[in-house]
Structure 1
Amino acid sequence: MSEISSQRLLSRIEQLRVIGEDPQGGITRPFGSTAEIDARQWFVSEAQQAGLSLHVDAAGNIWARYPGKRPGVLAVGSHLDTVPHGGAYDGALGVLMALEAIQSLKESGYAPEHTLAVLVFTGEEPNAFRLSTLGSRLLTGVLSWEDIVSVTDDEGRPVMKALEDAGASPDAYDLSLDDVRGFVEPHIEQGPRLQDSGEVLGVVSTITGIIRHAVTLVGEQNHAGTTPWALRRDSVQAFAQVMMIFQQWLARYAGRVTGTVGFVDVYPNAVNIVPSRVEFIVEWRSPDLDLLQQVAQGYWEAVEAWSRTHQITASRHVILNQPPSPMDQSVQTLLAETIAHHGMAAPVMASWAGHDAAHMARRVPTGMLFIRNNGKSHCPDEDCAQDDILAAQQVLTDFLVQWDETLAKEGIR
């Protein structure tokens, strides 16, 4: 067992917490913001003081390396950006745990077989460029440079300029995973399952699939006072009806599929006008691919059928169709064995939140370690107990040694 510095880890959590602190509550540190750049610079300084070598790739991902004796990199990390008014642990805890694990191993004199690296991903959360999991998708080839080269935010700022401001060189598209032998992402669970079960840690088996459809309902704009109710083609009333259909589908598949309508736009959005258009985004999630596709398609067909009988034009645009992403079985097993060695149970669980690990798993052996939190996330009330953090830190540090040595033995054979 390697000695960790509890005080250093907890201090870093508090130092990072104030970067992007929002007067309205929580932390607002989206990709491309001044706060996010400040957080990146703070991390680089901490990693340099820890004696790690730093590199920022073309996607803005930060690599902080502790060199090993043989080829190959074992990467651990997460992201530093946040949602608006978010919490201090989503993403950030995984980065700081990775840094502490590698720094404490270095200070203990551990000479790794493989290079150990903290990997900080660019733009995991939704942002002004509408490009979530930006760094991991570029790194793994899920997203190409051609896909983003003309993307701007609503103020016309190019995403390529934001990447340059983050330290990436737009002329050095040096993205490769050829030397990476695996990736592990420590992350708060963001839900109540560990809390309800009384367990501290969990091993992720699969990261949920996500389907998002942008749906448009078009009726007819008219006067709010003079248009008879029977003659109205009211898009907001139509939206209310398709939301009732949405609730029916959710109830039918409760526990196996979840869904959210979190964005709605009404036109012309005036108090005395029958609205002519509603645009909304419906999101479906499930770790079961067949069921996910069945529900997303079934709901859309139900919306179409209702609209045809009520003189409403319905159309949709698929903006995300991301299948579930299974985690590597050998990494899962080693994580579970390390947790058990520390006298804790290791429940295996699906992640209903998306993560950078979902994209990394398509290219390299990948795992996720869940840490119990208070069941709240993407909000200022997000919290994580110090004892749980320190227990997870010790497990992660010891896991890195076991992972490094296990892969070295496999290489010898």
Structure 2
Amino acid sequence: MDSSGVNPLLAAIADTGRDRRRGGYSRPVFSTAELDLRSWFTAEAQRRGLDTETDRNGILWAWWGPPQAGALVTGSHLDSVPGGGAFDGPLGIASALAAVDLMRSRGVQPRRSLAVAVFPEEEGSRFGVACLGSRLLTGAIDPDTARNLRDADGTTFAEAVRAHGLDPDRLGRDEQALARIGDFVELHVEQGRGLGDGGPAVAVGGSVLGHGRWRLSIRGEGNHAGTTAMADRADPMVAAAHIIVAVQQAAAAVDGARATVGRISPVPGGTNVIASRVDLWLDARHPRDTVTLELVDTIHGKAQKIAAFEGCTVTLSRESWTGTTEFEPMLRRSLEFFLPGAPVLATGAGHDAGILAGHVPAGMLFVRNPTGISHSPEEHVEPADAEAGTAALADVLADLL
């Protein structure tokens, strides 16, 4: 198969990690699917004469020119949420490879090195912390905290990285790798409909909304479902149901806020068992960080009252937090200059570019998603728009080089 051009590259991985039960794709970090995609990327990079390496935080790099300080870096991720779409992450990686092809066909001679980077565990779908690779790189997460993260099977992140050839004791802020990033530009599928229909297919990222993840653990009394009278129950599942509704109501009452419970885990999880504990994972976002945190406090207060009414208790723990991030102004103006007519959009989704932006000049490009749906099999990019995104990325990179 001809693997030049973004659409053939995406077609080559279209069957990797398909989820027959949920639909879409499930590609958690270090899964067979994600490892197959990393191997695919390495082969494609090497086919282009790019030198590849994996750093101590599991970030995969492909270099056009020697690894050096102040390089221009682009890239994204290859992992997915459970049942996710085909473009969230892989579009940025495939577009970066295709942009290298396009620049070479134009005779571009880089005056500084270019790297394509693949960041692991961007979605946080296995270990619960989004953008884990870029957080480790920048020191935004404590290495001991990262090492002790556990997946649903109880495997720690330290155990997982060791099983795949990395030394967990070396995880953490990497000054040398950070110094190599002179500018970072991430191309990503738009996760909304800001671009609309009929206009430009590519937008420039303006900012990333502040967002975080919290776990609400509701504890009650585990018991037999058939022998325990309704009046004698302290059922955390009932409390959890009311708390989920309260989350929706609390967020709806705050203009611009988003709050979601997308994951629920009862313990022990038997059909004929009243749970002893139920864990809920809360995602909350707002353009103003103080509003996000106030919303979480409000939800926690409501949850405590609901739990007490059901004879239960609830605790809240924060698993990740990133404040609202404005992309570096000079780089953003450069992107706008190179792409006249491209609108500037804020995004409610987290990205590695948003983590890096606190440490290096970072920016983003978004490619139209006509459905406006993401983290779902209905996520979509038209082939012509994918090509337009590659051309825009190539224009930006060539000028920055």
TM-score (normalizing by structure 2): 0.87
Give 3-state SS (helix, strand or coil) of 1:177's partner. Answer: helix
Q: 1:391 to 1:274 in 2, by over 3 A?
A: closer
Is 1:109 the equivalent of 2:107?
A: yes
Aligned to 1:353: 349
Alignment of 1:319-334 (within 5 A): 319-334=319-334
Alignment of 1:114-263 (within 5 A): 114-151=112-149, 153=151, 155=153, 159-160=157-158, 162-163=160-161, 168=166, 176-195=177-196, 198-221=199-222, 229=230, 232-254=233-255, 256-263=256-263
Tell me how far apart the structure 2 counterparts of residues 290 and 332 of structure 1 sit (CA, whole Å): 25
Aligned to 2:12: 15
Whether the 8 Å CA contact 1:102–1:116 is kept in 2: the answer is: no
Counterpart selection for 1:381 from 356, 378, 381: 378
CA-to-partner distance for each residue in 1:285-322, whole Å, 9 max, x for gaps? 12221111111112212222444455432222222222
Tell me how far apart the structure 2 counterparts of residues 165 and 223 of structure 1 sit (CA, whole Å): 40
Tell me how far apart the structure 1 counterparts of residues 122 and 138 of structure 2 sit (CA, whole Å): 14
Aligned to 1:394: 391
Whether the 8 Å CA contact 2:248–2:260 is kept in 1: the answer is: no
Which runs of no fewer than 5 residues in structure 2 stay unpaired? none
Aligned to 1:411: none
Tell me the CA shift for residue 93 of structure 1.
0.8
Whether the 8 Å CA contact 1:327–1:367 is kept in 2: the answer is: yes
Aligned residue identity for 2:42: V
Aligned residue identity for 1:349: L
Q: 1:216 to 1:197 in 2, by over 3 A?
A: farther
Q: 1:269 to 1:16 in 2, by over 3 A?
A: closer
Tell me the CA shift for residue 187 of structure 1.
0.1
Tell me how far apart the structure 1 counterparts of residues 270 and 32 of structure 2 sit (CA, whole Å): 35
Q: 1:221 to 1:96 in 2, by over 3 A?
A: closer
Aligned residue identity for 1:239: A
Which runs of no fewer than 5 residues in structure 1 stay unpaired? 405-413
Tell me the CA shift for residue 164 of structure 1.
5.5
Which structure would you say has the larger Rg?
1
Is 1:96 the equivalent of 2:94?
A: yes
Give 3-state SS (helix, strand or coil) of 1:279's partner. Answer: strand
Pairs aligned (count): 395
- Calculate the aligned-residue CA RMSD, in Å: 2.9
Aligned to 1:283: 283
Counterpart selection for 1:61 from 59, 64, 74: 59
Q: 1:57 to 1:251 in 2, by over 3 A?
A: same
Aligned residue identity for 2:239: A
TM-score (normalizing by structure 1): 0.85
Alignment of 1:355-370 (within 5 A): 355-370=351-366
Aligned to 1:297: 297
Tell me how far apart the structure 2 counterparts of residues 56 and 92 of structure 1 sit (CA, whole Å): 18
Q: 1:312 to 1:137 in 2, by over 3 A?
A: same
Tell me how far apart the structure 1 counterparts of residues 137 and 109 of structure 2 sit (CA, whole Å): 28
What percentage of aligned pairs have identical amino acids? Answer: 35
